[in-house]
Amino acid sequence: MDPTRITRHSHRQPRPMVPFCAPFALATGRAHEFCGAARRRLALWLARGTTGPVLWIRPAWHPDRPHMAGMVEEIAPGRLVFVEPTRASDLLWSMEEALRSGAVPLVVGDLPEPPALTPVRRLHLAAEAGAEATGRAPLALLLTPGDGGAPGIETRWRLDPAHKSPAPGAWHLHRIRAREAPPGDWPIRRGPRGAPEIAATPAAREPA
């Protein structure tokens, strides 16, 4: 008898991680959520940890568009490929198809509201299918307004500007949800080389 068949421990290999703000990183092959006023900047920090093109899917009808002059501070704009569906149903469908192809390492869905559980599960499955097809696991990122709230995501993070901070270029990062870590709050600033990092590390608050 093969003893590995009766153990309760998982034999999956650790998933590759993509850094976005030292020391934090996100697992590939899964769907994650960024929310808050500075969620798009947080997405660009994540894009910095990848190579190759980044597919950014957003609704064609929404007036809130990314400001390219602001993006150049974080990433070369030429890496960004924008897709703007005209129907709401095509936003998540486009994400799913892009993940399943495995053609790009990061697929960003800039959504007007959090999706339901079933579409999120489909994104997880599509990312896993992309990994099987190419050997490189893509990462699905949902950008949602306010506090977010997409069910079934791997992690949820919120980034907001710290306007009252005496230092320029300061933010506040919240880990709202993660499968293997408690919620937490950290002040963020730019390090000596311009990359975002924790300015101070208070103890993460325990989940209620």
Give the pLDDT band of residue 106 (cuts 50, 70, 90).
very high
What is the CATH number for 166?
Answer: 3.40.50.300
Considering the entire predicted model, what is its pTM? 0.88
pLDDT in tens, 18-51: 999 999 999 999 999 999 999 999 999 999 999 9
Please give the tally of structural domains in the chain.
1
SS (H, E, C) the chain: CCHHHCCCCCCCCCCCEEEEEECEEEECCCEEEEECCCHHHHHHHHHHCCCCCEEEECCCCCCCCCCHHHHCCCCCHHHEEEECCCCCHHHHHHHHHHHHHCCCCEEEEECCCCCCHHHHHHHHHHHHHHHHHHCCCCEEEEECCCCCCCCCCCEEEEEEECCCCCCCCEEEEEEEEECCCCCEEEEEEECCCCCEEECCCCCCCCCC
Question: Is 115 within the bounds of a domain?
Answer: yes
Q: Which domain holds residue 153?
A: 14-198
Question: Is 8 within the bounds of a domain?
Answer: no
Residue 207 has pLDDT above 50, yes or no: no
Question: Is 168 within the bounds of a domain?
Answer: yes
